């Protein structure tokens, strides 16, 4: 590997795709993750994007559960 490929990139400068971020958050919520995929995500994804997608996913989960309870009752 060259020195340029080993250069550390600031977490805020990382540019991960929205699809990959959503997939990483979804697998994390389920609890099924490979260690190698986790390492790739740590290197590629922006932490702020992960937080934003995680909060949106939890919000949708709560809304879904409230809707399910209202439908059952």
pLDDT score of 55: 94
Q: Say what the pTM is.
A: 0.67
pLDDT score of 3: 47
Quick: pLDDT tens for 27-64. Answer: 888 877 777 777 877 788 888 888 999 999 999 999 99
Query: Domain segments of the chain: what residues?
Result: 15-72
Across 11-49, b (16+ Cβ under 10 Å) vs e yields eeeeebeeeebbebbeeeeeeeeeeeeeeebeeebbeeb
Say how far apart CA 32 and CA 42 lie, in whole Å: 16
């Amino acid at each position: 590997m060259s020195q340029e490929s080993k250069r550390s990139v600031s977490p805020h400068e990382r540019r991960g795709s929205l699809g990959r971020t959503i997939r990483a958050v979804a697998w994390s919520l389920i609890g099924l993750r490979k260690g190698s995929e986790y390492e790739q995500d740590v290197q590629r994804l922006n932490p702020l994007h992960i937080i934003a997608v995680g909060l949106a996913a939890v919000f949708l989960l709560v809304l879904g559960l409230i809707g399910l309870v209202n439908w059952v009752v």
